[in-house]
Chain A
Amino acid sequence: MAVDVAAVRSSEATRAWLSSRAAYWGPGASQAGFVETLAEFCEFAGKMPDEILSECLRPSKEGGALVLRVRARRQYIDAIERFEAQTGSRKAANVVRSFLIYNGVAMNPSILP
């Protein structure tokens, strides 16, 4: 799947991520290259940001509140690990993790040795 970086940038989940991250750390925290990295992951996973998110947090059966989907979250945790192995970059993988975290899907990689 060829991913259009502009489409990744304009997706709702991406915008929510970048704006809440900037609000959290303040103007000092650079986000240069983040969208490109996320787009690489989208290509790797074959999913766009909003799709990834809606798989992890879905409305409950009764409707209304979102519920964290354990299995989907687990699948993305594993996918990000594979992405890390393929790119050889913890930094790149952490950009993807950051995307999910600011969107409400908690995760942690292993501690670096």
Chain B
Amino acid sequence: MEFKAVAGWRRSVRFFEPWREVEREKIQAIMEAVHRAPRVLEVDFVRTVVVYRDQLKDHELTAMKMPTTTAQVDMAPVYVFFYADLEALPRAATGDNFRELMARGVLNRSHGWTESFLEEQVLPYLRGIIDHPDRITMRTRTPDGDIEGPSVSRAHLSLARSAIGIAQEHALLAAFDEGLGAQLSALNTNIANGILGVPNTWTTSSPMLLGYHGESRETGGQRPREPFEEDFFEMRYGHPFYREPAVVDRLTAAEMIQPTAPLPWRKDELRALARKFGLPD
């Protein structure tokens, strides 16, 4: 599919066909897209775990539900969990990733990349992030109280979370390119981490629920946003980036920008979906 149409048709899908499995080759295509995501500071932060709903026990599924994620969990046949390994940055601070990129002609002398530059500037820069005094202790919540994990600097955590977001972005778009529906949705990751055997040095964000659309591809329209000018600025904060209507028209023609929710028939659809899946209205 064309990129712009993929971005335009991506919605948070909240109804999936619970009875329809996702072909493993589609999951592989999604995971390969994640694997190609750019690495923040060339660090291999990202880890993913693909989980098949039907291989989980009922009580595990129930325990993973959160106030913001309810029936979706029962409907989606696959969940993809995203993590950043907080030990990846200290490993990268040996310089080996950069040396490999220098050897491959990615990073070159033209931009200052030499062994001494690496040793004298780049690696101290990374150490500065790792050792920054503004720190936070990672915690895992359990019924018996919090378990303390590693202490990391906030700058380090911020990079790790960025890496997760980039990976999530690739996964979401690739899912729609594969003709699937997907949604990032909070699950109880403390419970999930226990079930999946996740080390306490990995930090996470919301997993992606994945499956075939149980609702229309429109999902009632593109979800509304605040005005463009609230988020994007030019030259300085407070001076909005002018939004040219002709560009909006071009993106509309390319299906990236689509009619905003609610489409007039959304509530009829929603009630029909409630009947389809036996949900209340």
Asked if chains A and B are in direct contact (CB within 8 A), the reply is yes
Residues of A that sit less than 8 Å from B by CB: 21, 24-26, 28-29, 90, 94-95, 97-98, 101, 106-112
How many residues of chain B are within 8 Å of chain A by beta carbon? Answer: 15
Residues of B within 8 A of A29 (CB): 271, 281
B18 is an interface residue with CB less than 8 A from chain A: yes
Residues of A within 8 A of B278 (CB): 90, 94, 109-112
Residues of A within 8 A of B1 (CB): none
Residues of A within 8 A of B280 (CB): 94-95, 97-98, 101, 107-109
**Structural contact, A94 and B281, CB atoms closer than 8 A:** yes
Q: Kindly state the separation between the CA atoms of A25 and B267 in the bound complex, as whole angstroms.
A: 6
**Structural contact, A106 and B277, CB atoms closer than 8 A:** no
- The distance from the CB of A80 to the nearest CB of chain B, in whole angstroms, is 10
Q: Which of the candidate stretches B29-37, B67-75, B158-166, B183-191 sits at the interface with the other chain?
A: B67-75
Residues of B within 8 A of A109 (CB): 278-280
**Structural contact, A108 and B74, CB atoms closer than 8 A:** yes
Knowing A25-B271, A106-B70 are in contact, say whether A112-B281 is a contact too (CB < 8 A): no
Residues of B within 8 A of A25 (CB): 267, 271, 281
Knowing A25-B271, A29-B271 are in contact, say whether A111-B70 is a contact too (CB < 8 A): no
Q: Kindly state the separation between the CA atoms of A26 and B267 in the bound complex, as whole angstroms.
A: 9
Knowing A90-B278, A98-B281 are in contact, say whether A110-B271 is a contact too (CB < 8 A): no
Q: Kindly state the separation between the CA atoms of A73 and B75 in the bound complex, as whole angstroms.
A: 22
The list of the 10 closest CB pairs from A to B, nearest first, reads A112-B278, A94-B280, A97-B280, A108-B71, A98-B280, A108-B70, A111-B74, A111-B277, A90-B278, A111-B18
Contact with A along B12-23 (1 / 0, CB 8 A): 000000100000
- The distance from the CB of A93 to the nearest CB of chain B, in whole angstroms, is 8
Residues of B that sit less than 8 Å from A by CB: 18, 67, 70-71, 74-75, 267-268, 271, 274, 277-281
Residues of B within 8 A of A106 (CB): 67, 70
**Structural contact, B279 and A94, CB atoms closer than 8 A:** yes
Residues of A within 8 A of B267 (CB): 24-26
- The distance from the CB of B213 to the nearest CB of chain A, in whole angstroms, is 15
Find the A residue at minimum CB distance from B278: A112
Q: Which of A26, A28, A94 has the most CB of B within 10 A?
A: A94
- The distance from the CB of B20 to the nearest CB of chain A, in whole angstroms, is 12
Q: Kindly state the separation between the CA atoms of A67 and B56 in the bound complex, as whole angstroms.
A: 31
Residues of B within 8 A of A26 (CB): 267
Knowing A25-B267, A29-B271, A106-B70 are in contact, say whether A111-B75 is a contact too (CB < 8 A): yes
- The distance from the CB of A45 to the nearest CB of chain B, in whole angstroms, is 17
Residues of B within 8 A of A101 (CB): 280
Q: Kindly state the separation between the CA atoms of A95 and B279 in the bound complex, as whole angstroms.
A: 10
Knowing that A94-B278, A111-B71 touch, tell me 20 more A-B residue pairs with CB under 8 angstroms: A24-B267, A28-B268, A29-B271, A90-B278, A94-B274, A94-B279, A94-B281, A97-B280, A98-B280, A101-B280, A106-B67, A106-B70, A107-B70, A107-B280, A108-B71, A109-B279, A111-B18, A111-B75, A112-B277, A112-B278
